[in-house]
Structures are given as structure tokens and as C-alpha cells.
Structure 1
Amino acid sequence: MANSVYARPAEGNVAPGDGWRYRGRGMLQLTFRNNYRAAGARLGIDLVAHPELAADPAVSLHIALDFWTRAGVNACCDAGDYFGARGLTNCGSRTPKVAPIGLADVAARRARLLGVLA
């Protein structure tokens, strides 16, 4: 199923099996060969040859932090723009055309965590 759903040549998935090979992995679900290649290049890890490394907790954290920094997610959080932050991490846009998946869940978890910290 992943091979069909993620068979997107524009995203670098061009070989048979690429959909499954470069499926979403890690804390922020790194997906597609082009994104594995780019993240791996920035982190000095060959994620194209070893895509399973994106599921390793330590590597996944580095990938997530790299994305968080590059996408400017923290600026959204600092401004209280949690819709924008979730849009960046879930839709790739601060102003997505559709509501980000899990927005209500993220808001509820944030409220609960702030209650613990208060």
C-alpha cells in the first residue's frame, strides 16, 4: 500500500519499493527519498542507503530538531501561533489550506503540560 500511496516521482520516489523504503519514520515522520537525502546531507548520515536509521530514536531527534530549526517552528511557538507550528510540522506550511491533523489533541496536551509546570 505504501508503495502506491507514496509513489511520487516529484518527491524522489522513483524506484519500485521506494514508497515503503522512504515511508514516514521518526518523531516528525520523515517521508520521501528527497527528504531523506536532504536531511541526511545536513546531518552527515546516509539516510538514502540506510533509511531505517530515521527510526532510531537518537537520529530521529536530530532529524526533528533540524526540521524544527529550518522551518522556524519555534518562532511560531514563541508567538503563540500553535496553528502555524502544527501547520509547519504536519502540512509543511504555516498557513495550511486545511486544518492540521491533531491540532485539538496538541492544544489539549499543551494545556495539560502547562498546568503541570504552573
Structure 2
Amino acid sequence: MKIEQSLLRRMWPQGDRRVAGLIAGTAAVSESVFARFGIDTPDLVAHVMAQLSHECGAGQEVVENLDYTAARMMQVWPSRFPTLASAAPYAHNPRALANKVYNGRMGNRAGSDDGWSYRGRGAAQTTGREGYARLAALTGLDLVNHPELLIDPRYFLLCGVADFVACGCLPFARADDVVGVTRRLNGGTIGLAERKAWLASWKAALAEAPVVIASPPLAPDLPADPTLRPQPAPPPSRWSQLIAVLRAAFRRI
């Protein structure tokens, strides 16, 4: 299946705001990416695109925003920041916050910059060195050394769909179980109502989209039927040759 650029632009109207060319790049590779992972029905495409639409904010939130206030940090990570004083050093300091909350887990090395380097990124908001390494193995892209490739328009959908499949979402999508898909991808049910709304929107949009059937390849040019080719005249008989000689002789008399 293929998502036409016009449809994706309608669903993600601000999709190019953060990454130029994201809409065109995603639409261009959609058919090959879905085929690669066996996403072969409109409902499966709808489940994938619903989750990715929510995760990346329809293309507007392709890199995790960690610019938090101290009060917000206490809400998101209450065990790490039980007081305003504990959160204050990381307020509006995204890099320090990423390393504080993500290092020492998800494959990120303690005391490193891994938390920042491997913060949520891409269509599925892949997070952690282990997550990036897993996608690298699935896609063949060097995402550990080049994490920015997750938001490259050429690979944005590939990485998002690979993460969807790697998380074990596909069986639940085949069963039309949006809760199961969400739990596998998210680890919980955060944003479930919005994900359900996205799923309904994508199902409706794909149902309205025309089915594009590729034209069969043109048949190779066939040689012309030899029976229709001009045939050489048969050689003249000896009798016809004699008549021709006599005619020529009479003309000279």
C-alpha cells in the first residue's frame, strides 16, 4: 500500500514544520516500507499511522522536548524529583535533564551523554541506546553513530515502522486491538484516547482514498507476422523469359 503525498499532507498539515521535506519523503517510501514489513491492508496501515501520528505529533514533535519547568518535572518523574529544590538545577536545561533521567538504563551509560544523544526521536520516538541499536540492526542504518538519521525524510517512516514491528505491535494491529498496540509501543496506555481518535481518522481517510492499481508492464514489441511481410517475386520461368526476348526483338523491327 502507498500513502499519497496529498493524503499525508491533509493528515499532517504542519508535517514539514520541523523537518523540511518530511511529507514528501515519507509518502515516497511508504509503499516499499509497508511491503518490507508485511503491512498489506488499509487497517494495518491505519494502525501504524495512528500510533506514529500520535508519537510524533503529526510530524511536529520529531525530537523529544525536554525543556521542563521544575514543577512539571515533579509531575513526570515524581520519584526522581520529589521537591522543587531537587528539580531546580534541571529546569529549562534539556541536556542535563535527559542525562539525569535516561542514563543508567535503556542501554545508556552512566556518566555519559547517552541520555541526550538517544532521547526520544523519530516517528515512534525511539529512546535509549538499546532502542537505537535495535533499529540499526533492523534497518541497516548506523543510528548509534548517527542518531539524526531517525528524522531524515528518507528514513523517517522506515525507522518508525521498524520500531512498531520490533515492539510486537503487529499481531495486535491485525486483531484491531488498539489498546494492545498502544501497550506494546508505549509500555502503557498514555494518550489512548488520542490514539483511538487518530485510528478512526486514518481508517476513514484510507477508506476514501482511491485504490491505485499499477498498470501492467507493456508487452515487448513482437516481430511482425512473417506472413504479412512483402514476399520476393518468384524467379521468371524459361517460357516467360523466351516471350520477353521475342517482344524485345519485335520492338527493334
TM-score (norm: length of structure 1): 0.79
Structure showing greater Rg: 2
Conserved? CA contact 1:54–1:60, under 8 Å: yes
Distance 2:143 2:202 in 1: 33
Conserved? CA contact 2:124–2:164, under 8 Å: no
Higher relative contact order, chain-length normalized (CA < 8 Å, sep 6+): 2
Conserved? CA contact 1:76–1:84, under 8 Å: yes
**AA of the residue aligned to 1:44:** G
Instruction: Report SS of the residue matched to 1:111.
Output: helix
Q: Find runs of 4+ consecutive structure 1 residues off by over 4 angstroms.
A: none
- Structure 2 residue corresponding to 1:12, chosen from 94, 98, 107: 107
Conserved? CA contact 2:99–2:112, under 8 Å: yes
Conserved? CA contact 1:18–1:33, under 8 Å: yes
Identical aligned residues as a percent: 37
In structure 1, the gaps of 5 or more residues are none
* Alpha-carbon spacing, 1:109–1:41, altered in 2? closer, same or farther (3 Å): closer
* Alpha-carbon spacing, 1:69–1:112, altered in 2? closer, same or farther (3 Å): closer
1:44-59 to 2 correspondence within 5 Å?
44-59=140-155
- Structure 1 residue corresponding to 2:192, chosen from 96, 103, 111: 103
Distance 2:149 2:203 in 1: 33
Instruction: Report SS of the residue matched to 1:63.
Output: helix
Conserved? CA contact 2:99–2:114, under 8 Å: yes
In structure 2, the gaps of 5 or more residues are 1-96, 209-253
1:1-118 to 2 correspondence within 5 Å?
1-8=97-104, 10-14=105-109, 15-91=111-187, 96=188, 100-116=189-205, 117=207
Q: CA deviation at 1:35?
A: 1.6
Instruction: Report SS of the residue matched to 2:173.
Output: helix
TM-score (norm: length of structure 2): 0.40
Q: CA deviation at 1:45?
A: 1.5
Distance 1:35 1:65 in 2: 13
Count of residue pairs the alignment pairs up: 110
Give the structure with the higher percent helix. 1
Distance 2:174 2:138 in 1: 25
Distance 1:63 1:115 in 2: 25
Instruction: Report SS of the residue matched to 2:181.
Output: helix
